[in-house]
């Protein structure tokens, strides 16, 4: 059985160029260990897939919602952020198909969010090149845009960082601080892990493909752990 036969059945897409599909799963670390001088990693496909994803989501939001630009931008960000894409990649079991170096495999690279998110985008880039825009759009609508209703209903697009600051100042008279815990991944797509602090109390942790996104994630985590009002419409909990 071809390595990717199950995946093609899962997503309902049969690739004409199997090498293109295979390239979507070749991590840079694998190329560094390979003796094949013609082997290419997936970062260029990821670059393309990122642009295709943003266009498809933007086009969909524009066509279906008559909201202000700022609101549409927030919805789009919530749909295409790294954490969301990593979760979708896990649903599709993309990690099982990755070509990783021995070291990356040993360190659990097939489960790392930034690698999974990048792989999802590389897969989309491969779909676009092999099958065209309409097939790419159907794929994104099925696996990404399907989360939009939940995002809107639960207010997952709202600015958790600003709200956390308001609550911290109101309840404790403290302005939150954010510190970098770690960063990993290629220069053009670094994954940051940030911590939210109230003075010296570590109250939340989050990850993202920028420090700002990671801080938002850390603020959301802090709101939950402090049992303060979340970014949806729940009532605030007492101190």
pLDDT band at 12 (very low <50, low <70, confident <90, very high): very high
Residue 89 has pLDDT above 90, yes or no: yes
For residues 223 and 161, is the Cβ–Cβ distance under 8 A?
no
Predicted local confidence at residue 160, as pLDDT: 77
Predicted local confidence at residue 150, as pLDDT: 84
Listed in sequence order, the DSSP H helices in 24-159 are: 28-33, 43-64, 69-80, 82-91, 102-106, 113-131, 133-143, 148-154
Predicted local confidence at residue 203, as pLDDT: 95
Distances (CA, A) of 60 to 17, 138, 144, 161: 28, 11, 11, 27
Based on the residue annotation, tell me whether 121 is a catalytic residue of this protein. Answer: yes
Q: Describe the strand order of the beta sheet including 177-184 as a list of residue ranges.
A: 177-184, 191-198, 201-208
**Region of residue 185 (phi > 0: left; psi between -120 and 50: alpha; otherwise: beta):** left
pLDDT tens for each residue of 73-83? 888 988 888 87
Listed in sequence order, the DSSP H helices in 173-227 are: 211-226
Q: Which of 22, 43, 46, 50 is catalytic?
A: 50
pLDDT tens for each residue of 52-68? 999 999 999 999 999 98
- The helix (H) or strand (E) run that includes residue 198 is strand 191-198
Residue 94 has pLDDT above 90, yes or no: yes
CA distance 10 to 100: 22
Predicted local confidence at residue 34, as pLDDT: 83
Predicted local confidence at residue 96, as pLDDT: 95
Predicted local confidence at residue 156, as pLDDT: 63
CA distance 94 to 221: 26
For residues 11 and 94, is the Cβ–Cβ distance under 8 A?
no
Predicted local confidence at residue 229, as pLDDT: 56
pLDDT tens for each residue of 193-239? 999 999 999 999 998 888 888 898 899 889 889 888 544 434 333 33
Based on the residue annotation, tell me whether 130 is a catalytic residue of this protein. Answer: no
Predicted local confidence at residue 236, as pLDDT: 36
pLDDT band at 157 (very low <50, low <70, confident <90, very high): low
Q: Which of 46, 83, 104, 121 is catalytic?
A: 121
Q: What is the mean pLDDT of the chain?
A: 88
Residue 81 structure tokens? 């952020």
> Which SS3 state, helix, strand or coil, does residue 202 take?
strand
Domains present along the chain, CATH in parentheses: 5-154 (1.10.1520.10), 160-226 (3.30.160.20)
Predicted local confidence at residue 180, as pLDDT: 95
pLDDT tens for each residue of 104-118? 999 998 998 889 999
| Range in 20-29, 75-84, 103-112, 126-135 the model is least confident about | 75-84
For residues 58 and 73, is the Cβ–Cβ distance under 8 A?
no
Distances (CA, A) of 174 to 66, 161, 214, 237: 38, 14, 20, 18
Percent of the chain at pLDDT > 90 equals 60
Predicted local confidence at residue 97, as pLDDT: 96
């Amino acid at each position: 059985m071809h390595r990717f036969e199950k995946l093609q059945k899962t997503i309902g897409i049969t690739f004409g160029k199997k090498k293109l599909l295979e390239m979507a799963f070749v991590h840079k670390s694998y190329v560094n260990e390979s003796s094949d001088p013609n082997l290419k990693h997936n970062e260029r496909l990821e670059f393309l897939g990122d642009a295709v994803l943003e266009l498809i989501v933007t086009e969909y939001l524009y066509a279906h919602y008559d909201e202000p630009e700022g609101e549409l931008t927030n919805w789009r960000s919530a749909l295409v952020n790294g954490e969301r894409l990593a979760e979708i990649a896990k649903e599709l079991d993309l990690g099982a198909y990755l070509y990783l170096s021995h070291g990356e495999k040993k360190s659990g690279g097939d489960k790392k969010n930034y690698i999974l998110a990048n792989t999802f985008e590389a897969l989309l880039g491969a779909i676009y090149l092999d099958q065209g825009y309409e097939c790419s759009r159907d794929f994104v609508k099925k696996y990404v845009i399907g989360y939009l209703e939940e995002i809107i209903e639960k207010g997952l697009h709202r600015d958790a960082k600003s709200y956390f600051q308001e609550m911290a100042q109101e309840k404790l008279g403290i302005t939150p601080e954010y510190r970098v815990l770690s960063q990993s991944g290629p220069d053009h797509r670094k994954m940051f892990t940030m911590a939210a602090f109230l003075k010296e109390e570590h109250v939340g942790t989050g990850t993202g493909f920028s420090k700002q996104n990671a801080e938002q994630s850390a603020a959301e985590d802090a709101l939950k752990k402090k049992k303060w009002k979340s970014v949806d419409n729940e009532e605030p909990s007492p101190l």
